Structure formats: structure tokens, C-alpha cells
């Protein structure tokens, strides 16, 4: 009898131990900001998962050796018309997301230590054809603060991380553009200290239909401090055509609206770099470093096309 009791206790302990160590999906939420994203969070690191499978308007994600918590589905799923179904096939958890909005494709990537992100690439809404006079207007500008989260970037002489400086500059530039170009929408690829993968940054820009993509970074030097100072700007253009050439021609008889927008954008950047010590403190610059920026008469470049703001 004692042997039977011991056996029952051992079985109960083993069952409790197995339940405590089972990979459990505890939260499924949806965010439609910038990129439509379904986030799958677990109680532990997710060691393996299968690529997303699309069946009609359903995205299927399979996670081996996992179970689903009964209260895992967050209210945001219903708010964005995403129905979640799940079942276990042998040892694999199969989650089906029924998406109500049209979409082209989806991909699953890791999002932190204990989560997966299902990025849903939606079909863009057809836009009316714009005339040559308006399609080059800077109606949407995307500002990309380099690095972020686990990717700190370069480290300054005073110990500040590049990710902190680029985010502060991006926010300040957004504010200045809003003041000088109120008709232009400004989109940030990140607004907090988070890591955003490169493909997602371009996805944000494309979905926002950005006309100009500005990526802000800080240079790193082999020794600190270093005599190099100032700013450099590189321009990557997809090519030239008659419409763009006409808009940028200094000999044009009339100044098209896109040139006026570009001039005001330059003014916004110039205003930032000529700001006072308060703005310098916002991005972690010492007054001495700020004076080096102000004392730079021109900008030097090492590649692509260079623009003097």
C-alpha cells in the first residue's frame, strides 16, 4: 500500500513538473500601427516555429511542443477583426488567424526573447493618378532613427549611444517639419527605444507612401575624441526622369511646389543644427560638441550624392 501511495505521489509530481515546463502561448494581440502585426507571446523562449502558411484569408502558424492558454486571446484581436483558432495536432500547436482585411503576404519573425511577430503585408489602397505638378510634392516624409533597442550603434566620447542621439534628432526634426511644413505628414520608423528590423523600416515607409526617406545615423571614429566633426548627407536616387529634372532645374521659369517644399525642409534641418544649448542637451551633446556643429561651414561626403543643407 505504501508503495502504491509513493507511486501516485511520484506520478503527480512528474505531471506538475511537466506542466510547469510546457511552452505556453499566453497572449495573442494585434497592432495596426505602421505595419499590421499579430504578436504571439509565450511564457518562455520559443525554440522553433514554422514559416507562415496562407490559405485564403487565413494565416497558419505552427509551433512545436506548445500549448495555448485559455485566456491568451487579447481584446485587440476582436478590435481589428482577427479571429483566432487553434488546435493541437500531436505535439504541434497550430494557430489560425482569419484576417478580415485584404493582404498579399505574411512572414513570422522573432520579436524579443519570448515572442513571435506575424507581419501582415496588406494590399495597398489604389491611389488616384497624380499630375506631374503634384506627384513630386513632399506630402509624406519618413524619418528613420538608426539602431534602437538591443542595437545601440556607436558609442560617443561621453558614453551616450548612437540609438539615443538618432531618436532625439528624429523627434526634433519631426517637430520642426510640422512647424514649417504643416501640410506634410511625418512618419517615424520608431518612436521609442525599440529594435526595428531593416525590412520593417522599409515596409513602414512603403505603406506610408513616403516621398522622402531620411535615415539618421552617427559616425564612429577609431579614436575618441577625434578631430573630425560636422555633418554629412548622402542622397540615393532611383534615377532621373523629365518630371524630376524639371522640378529640380535652376533654370525653370517658375518654381514648382516640390522645390518650395524641399527648400522648407532644408530650412527645418538648418534650424535644428543652429538651435541653442537646450536642443543640444536633448540629444546628449555637450555645449562644446554643439559649437563644433555650429562652426561647420560645409559638409563633406565620401560617397553617393552630397547635399549642402
Domain extent listing, the chain? 23-122, 140-306
pLDDT over 90 at 239, yes or no: no
More confident of the two residues 49 and 235: 49
**SS3 category, 290:** helix
Q: For position 219, what pLDDT does the model report?
A: 82
Across the range 72-85, mean pLDDT stands at: 93
Examine domains 23-122 and 140-306 and report if their fold is the same.
Answer: no
The lowest-confidence range among 72-86, 172-186, 286-300 is 286-300
Q: For position 160, what pLDDT does the model report?
A: 86
pLDDT over 50 at 190, yes or no: yes
Question: Can you tell me the distance from the alpha carbon of 84 to that of 78, in angstroms, rounded to the nearest whole number?
Answer: 9
Q: How far apart are the first and last CA of the chain?
A: 88
pLDDT over 90 at 240, yes or no: no
CATH fold of the domain at 140-306: Aminopeptidase (3.40.630)
Question: Can you tell me the distance from the alpha carbon of 256 to that of 248, in angstroms, rounded to the nearest whole number?
Answer: 9
Nearest Cα to Cα of residue 40 among 110, 102, 116:
116
The lowest-confidence range among 16-30, 39-53, 155-169 is 16-30
Q: For position 187, what pLDDT does the model report?
A: 92
Q: For position 15, what pLDDT does the model report?
A: 41
Across the range 105-118, mean pLDDT stands at: 89
Q: For position 32, what pLDDT does the model report?
A: 84
Residues 220, 160 contacting (CB under 8 angstroms): no
Angle at which helices 257-273 and 162-180 cross, to 10°? 130
Model pLDDT for residues 120-163, shown as the tens digit of each residue: 987 666 666 655 556 667 789 999 999 998 999 888 877 888 99
CATH of 23-122, one of 2.60.40.3500, 3.20.20.70, 2.60.120.10, 3.40.50.300: 2.60.40.3500
Question: Can you tell me the distance from the alpha carbon of 140 to that of 108, in angstroms, rounded to the nearest whole number?
Answer: 28
The lowest-confidence range among 28-42, 143-157, 222-236 is 222-236
Global pTM? 0.48
Across the range 38-52, mean pLDDT stands at: 92
Neighbours of 221 (CB within 10 A): 12
- The pairing of beta strand 82-89 with beta strand 66-68: unpaired
Report the chain's mean pLDDT, rounded to a whole number. 74
More confident of the two residues 124 and 24: 24
Model pLDDT for residues 254-287, shown as the tens digit of each residue: 434 444 455 555 555 555 555 555 555 554 555 6
Of all helices (H) and strands (E), which one includes residue 306? strand 305-306
More confident of the two residues 254 and 292: 292
Reduced DSSP (H G I as helix, E B as strand, rest coil) percent helix, strand, coil of the chain, to 5: 30, 30, 45
Question: Can you tell me the distance from the alpha carbon of 272 to that of 259, in angstroms, rounded to the nearest whole number?
Answer: 20
Q: For position 308, what pLDDT does the model report?
A: 36
Amino acid at each position: 500500500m505504501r508503495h502504491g501511495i509513493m507511486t501516485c505521489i511520484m506520478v503527480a509530481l512528474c505531471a506538475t513538473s511537466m506542466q510547469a515546463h510546457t511552452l505556453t502561448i499566453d497572449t495573442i494581440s494585434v497592432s495596426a500601427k505602421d505595419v499590421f502585426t499579430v504578436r504571439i507571446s509565450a511564457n518562455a523562449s520559443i525554440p522553433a516555429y514554422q514559416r507562415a502558411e496562407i490559405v485564403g484569408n487565413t494565416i497558419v502558424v505552427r509551433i512545436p511542443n506548445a500549448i495555448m492558454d485559455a485566456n491568451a486571446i487579447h481584446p485587440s484581436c476582436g478590435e481589428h477583426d482577427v479571429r483566432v483558432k487553434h488546435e493541437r495536432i500531436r505535439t504541434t500547436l497550430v494557430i489560425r488567424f482569419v484576417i478580415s482585411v485584404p493582404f498579399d503576404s505574411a512572414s513570422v519573425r522573432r520579436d524579443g526573447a519570448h515572442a513571435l511577430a506575424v507581419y501582415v503585408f496588406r494590399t495597398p489602397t489604389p491611389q488616384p493618378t497624380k499630375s506631374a505638378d503634384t506627384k513630386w510634392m513632399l506630402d509624406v516624409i519618413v524619418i528613420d532613427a538608426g539602431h534602437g533597442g538591443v542595437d545601440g550603434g556607436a558609442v560617443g566620447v561621453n558614453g551616450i549611444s548612437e540609438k539615443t542621439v538618432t531618436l532625439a534628432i528624429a523627434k526634433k526634426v519631426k517637430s520642426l517639419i510640422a512647424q514649417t511644413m504643416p501640410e506634410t505628414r511625418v512618419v517615424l520608423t520608431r518612436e521609442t527605444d525599440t529594435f526595428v528590423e531593416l525590412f520593417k523600416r522599409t515596409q513602414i515607409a512603403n505603406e506610408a507612401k513616403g516621398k522622402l526617406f531620411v535615415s539618421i545615423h552617427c559616425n564612429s571614429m577609431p579614436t575618441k575624441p577625434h578631430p573630425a566633426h560636422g555633418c554629412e548627407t548622402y542622397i540615393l536616387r532611383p534615377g532621373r526622369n523629365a518630371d524630376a529634372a524639371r522640378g529640380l532645374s535652376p533654370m525653370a521659369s517658375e518654381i514648382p511646389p516640390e522645390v518650395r517644399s524641399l527648400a522648407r525642409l532644408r530650412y527645418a534641418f538648418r534650424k535644428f543644427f543652429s538651435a541653442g544649448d537646450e536642443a543640444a542637451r536633448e540629444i546628449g551633446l555637450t555645449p562644446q560638441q554643439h559649437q563644433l556643429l555650429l562652426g561647420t561651414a560645409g559638409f563633406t561626403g565620401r560617397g553617393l550624392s552630397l547635399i549642402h543643407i
